[in-house]
Amino acid sequence: MAGQSTLVKELREKTGAGILDCQKALQESANDIDKAIDYLRQKGLAAAQKKAGRETNEGTISAYIHSGNRIGVLVEVNCETDFVARNEEFQTFVKDLALQIAASNPSFVKREDVPSELIEKEKKIYLAQAKEMGKPETAWPKIVEGKLEKFYQESCLLEQAFIKDPGVSIKDLVAQKIAKIGENISIRRFTRYQLGQA
């Protein structure tokens, strides 16, 4: 049983989940830590979806200035209560997002924010590229779709891989924080400044 408590402790350190959730995850995954982490992530996503409709009128604005003072970021992240807004875990999460924005330079928060005219313009470019590659016409729509997905992953903050853990997208990270903190969280907006760029 000592082995079980060690596994629970390790899983708690890696995920921040509660003791009972960790015990259940290990039980469901035959004490395989990686499978238990996946189980908890899926559970977290389900919990986050339940909270997604709740109002987020509190939160914080965080600023990050990269060393050398050439890149600066302002990001607004909302939550449900002032209590959570002042919570250290929430504050750290917001700072991580500011760092992510500085490093990965997204243009939009989510794919729904991308103007339709920009999407159409990108699709035309991808279609021309598919033709240039000499691919059969039947493959063109799939190529365009694949390139558009890559565009979203590069341009939309929620679609990006988290720089501190590339196996997790920012969207999944938000869901994990919602599950752990117990409140809905939404990334409202951000601005990234780079010296000499408009």
Residues 6+ apart with CB under 8 A from 18: 12
**Residue 90 domain boundaries:** 58-110+156-194
Average pLDDT over residues 134-148: 89
If asked whether residues 64 and 106 sit together in one domain, one would say yes
Residue 65: how many other CB atoms lie within 10 Å: 13
Compute the distance between CA of residue 66 and CA of residue 104 in angstroms, rounded to an integer. 13
pLDDT higher than 60, residue 198: yes
If asked whether residues 177 and 85 sit together in one domain, one would say yes
Average pLDDT over residues 121-128: 92
| Most confident by average pLDDT, 130-134, 146-150, 181-185 | 146-150
Please write the tens of the pLDDT for every residue from 39-60. Answer: 777 766 545 455 555 566 788 9
Given this model, what pLDDT does residue 1 score? 41
Average pLDDT over residues 163-178: 91
If asked whether residues 88 and 171 sit together in one domain, one would say yes
pTM of the model: 0.70
Q: What's the CATH code of the domain at 132?
A: 1.10.286.20
Q: What's the CATH code of the domain at 174?
A: 3.30.479.20
Compute the distance between CA of residue 99 and CA of residue 93 in angstroms, rounded to an integer. 10
If asked whether residues 106 and 178 sit together in one domain, one would say yes
Map 55-93 to HEC letters: CCCEEEEEEEECCCCCEEEEEEEEECCHHHHCCHHHHHH
